[in-house]
Each structure stands twice: as structure tokens, then as C-alpha cells.
Amino acid sequence: MNPLQIFVESSKKLTPSLIEYEVGTEVEMIVYRYLEDVRSYYDDVLMVSFVDAHVAFLEYLKRVLRRDVLRDVEVISLLSKKFKDSESAPLIAGRLGSIIEGKRGKILAVFLGLDFYSIVFSEKSLLELFPRIVNLTRYNRNLNIVSVFNGAIFSSSVSQMLYTFSLNVMKLSIERTDGDFKRVLTIIRSAFPEYNLRRWHYDVIGDNINFMFDRSSNSNHFKLHP
């Protein structure tokens, strides 16, 4: 299995999931590939977008893929510049809860722009909101949650909270070695302990992602499955 397949399978078993990314990791393509892989598993896929985060996400995909994508994904836009709705955490959670409660079958909710929300409002707002997002599963037991978030730009209390509440975590980072930049994907936490803390270097070429296992993250008990 490649690391994305590990994350895909793990996110079906454990929720909530977190994709933590850094600037420059082409997180858009990772999320797109993730959505492509899991789409048939769910009856409904919701993209919950804060502060128009989905617009930037879709702009990237249109530029790179040169076609309309994710047409069967329902976008729920919150705090868009077009509609000034409330930033109150209980109100946002209540609105999402009522949408999710009415859905039948397996549901995936992908949260984009929680980091945007935190920049525009405050870290405190996010600290109030995120536990409520995690709790949305009480509205519907068939709900799986994935958050896409840049943790590096916030204080450690934000990162700690995200990690505490997320059972399945994948981290995308940039590593500088010998004057060169490499993208790194690390499985931090998953349903498959043998893969936890394993790392892969990856390149995005067009709509392909090429993964290369980082053997330095290997250990004696770990067997690599190509």
C-alpha cells in the first residue's frame, strides 16, 4: 500500500481524521486523490468550506487537471465573503448538525479552511469550534470527518488540540536537505500501527503523485509492502 491508501483505509475505520499540511506541499492534489479514492465508499461527500477555502482548492484543481472535478461533492460554504453569517462556534456546529442529521447512508465531511477561520477570527475561536466539529458524529453515527489544516502557523495549544481529537493523522511537510526541497508524507497515527511514523518522499507531476518510501524511517519489525 502507498501512504495515501493507508490513510484512505484507516479513515474508513477511524474518525476524525486530520491532514496536516505545510505551505508548498500541494495539499490540494493529496486531498483530491483522497476524495477520488473514497468517493464510491460513501453515499454523500460534503465539503465544508470556511472563508471560501474551497474556491482556492478548486482553482488549483482546474489549473492542474484542466477539467471540472468533484461535481458530485456537496459544498457547504460558511463565512463566505458573499454571505456574512455568524462566526459563533455553537451556531456553526448547530447548522452543520442539522444538515448532517438529515442525511442517510455513509457520509464523509471534509473540512477545508479551519486554518483560514483561525487567522480571520482567532485561535480561541478555533479552540471553541473544533471540539464541536468532532462531536458532529453524535448527529449521525455514519459520519466520518476529515480536517485539512496547517498547524505550523499556530501556537502549540492548537496543534495539541487537533492531535488530541484526531485518531487518524497524516502530515505533509517540506524538508530541506543539501540545498534541495523535498515533500514528505508521514503517517503519524492510523488504524495500522505498523505504518505509524513511517515517511515517504513524494512528487506531484500533473495529476500523478509518486511516493518513495524513506528507508530511514524503517525499523526492524517493519515490512514494506510495495
Task: Look up cell 477545508; give the residue.
Answer: 112
User: In the complex, what is the shortest distance from the CB of residue 91 to other proteins, in angstroms, rounded to a whole number?
Assistant: 19
DSSP 167: S
Residues 121, 85 contacting (CB under 8 angstroms): no
Q: Is the dihedral of CA 76, 81, 87, 91 positive or negative?
A: negative
- Radius of gyration of the chain measured on its C-alpha atoms: 17
**Interface with other proteins includes 115 (CB under 8 A)?**
yes
Work out the burial of residue 68: count CB atoms within 10 Å of its CB; fewer than 13 is exposed, 13-18 middle, 19 or more buried: exposed
Binding-residue pattern over the window 121 to 140 for other proteins, x denoting contact by CB under 8 A: --------------------
Separation between Cα atoms, residue 23 and residue 172, nearest integer Å = 9
Q: Of 42-101, which residues contact other proteins (CB under 8 A)?
A: 51, 53, 55-57, 59-60, 63, 81
Q: What are phi and psi of 39, to 5 degrees?
A: -50, -45
Which cell numbers hold the place of 164?
488530541
User: In the complex, what is the shortest distance from the CB of residue 137 to other proteins, in angstroms, rounded to a whole number?
Assistant: 26
User: In the complex, what is the shortest distance from the CB of residue 183 to other proteins, in angstroms, rounded to a whole number?
Assistant: 11
Binding test (CB under 8 A) with other proteins, winner from 77, 150, 168, 186: 150
Residues 74, 46 contacting (CB under 8 angstroms): yes
**N residues, the chain:** 226
**Interface with other proteins includes 20 (CB under 8 A)?**
no
Residues 111, 148 contacting (CB under 8 angstroms): yes
Tell me whether residue 154 or residue 195 sits nearer to other proteins (CB atom). Answer: 154
Binding test (CB under 8 A) with other proteins, winner from 14, 22, 87, 196: 22
Binding test (CB under 8 A) with other proteins, winner from 174, 191, 214, 217: 174
Binding test (CB under 8 A) with other proteins, winner from 13, 24, 66, 85: 24
- Kindly list the residues in this chain that would bind other proteins in the complex (CB under 8 A): 21-28, 51, 53, 55-57, 59-60, 63, 81, 112, 115-116, 119-120, 150, 152-153, 174, 176, 181
